Amino acid sequence: MDQIQLQIRAFEAGDTGRLSEIWFEASRRAHAFLGEARLDGQRTLIEEVYLPNAETWVACLAGAPVGFIGLVDCFVGGMFVDPDRQGSGIGRALAAHALALKGQLELEAYAENRAACAFYRHLGFEEISRRPEDDDGLPFEVILMRLRNIDRSATQMADA
């Protein structure tokens, strides 16, 4: 990771624009199968509903947001990292922060987003179930994942 130390802090209203950009760019790459028009339509929901209403934590380098995780209780509603910063430990740090707060985590990931599914498995998430449609009823398979062994998962995150 960068020489500058990563900081994780609570979401502030002023973060909305930058986090929306991160979400959109990361989603365009990871969820290209959804189509850009659908992502454009979801952007307002991200800005007006999900970011302010979830327990959102923001990862910053030199004070600038580079990623975020949104939690609803122990459920990860979304975790996104600036595509130019992916692979540098930011996602792992966000997941570790959330795990430390909640003790266990659950999330859903599109099966077609193989990189995200592999990342979550690397952190210790295990597949619980699958369903053939997403929340909008579209034919995109979704995988429910959960951390089952918290001690092992925390060790994996620290060692990864």
Closest Cα to residue 110, out of 78, 147, 70?
78
pLDDT at 114: 94
Closest Cα to residue 94, out of 14, 13, 19?
19
pLDDT at 102: 94
DSSP β-bridge partners for residue 67 = 59, 81
pLDDT at 151: 56
- List the CATH code of the domain at 6-159: 3.40.630.30
pTM: 0.88
Q: Nearest 5 degrees, angle CA 18-CA 71-CA 68?
A: 25
As a residue count, the chain comes to: 160
Summarize pLDDT for 12-57 with one digit per residue, the tens. Answer: 999 999 999 999 999 999 988 888 888 988 999 999 999 999 999 9
Q: Coil, strand or helix: which one is 138?
A: coil
Closest Cα to residue 20, out of 37, 45, 3?
45
Contact 91, 67 (CB under 8 A): yes
Q: Which helix (H) or strand (E) holds 37?
A: helix 36-45
pLDDT at 33: 86
Contact 108, 144 (CB under 8 A): yes
Q: What is the DSSP string of 44-56?
A: HHIIIIIHHHSEE
| Tens-level pLDDT at each residue, the chain (160 residues) | 445 799 999 999 999 999 999 999 999 999 888 888 889 889 999 999 999 999 999 999 999 999 999 999 999 999 999 999 999 999 999 999 999 999 999 999 999 999 999 999 999 999 999 999 999 899 999 999 998 645 544 545 555 5
Task: Give, as one character, the DSSP assignment of residue 117.
Answer: H
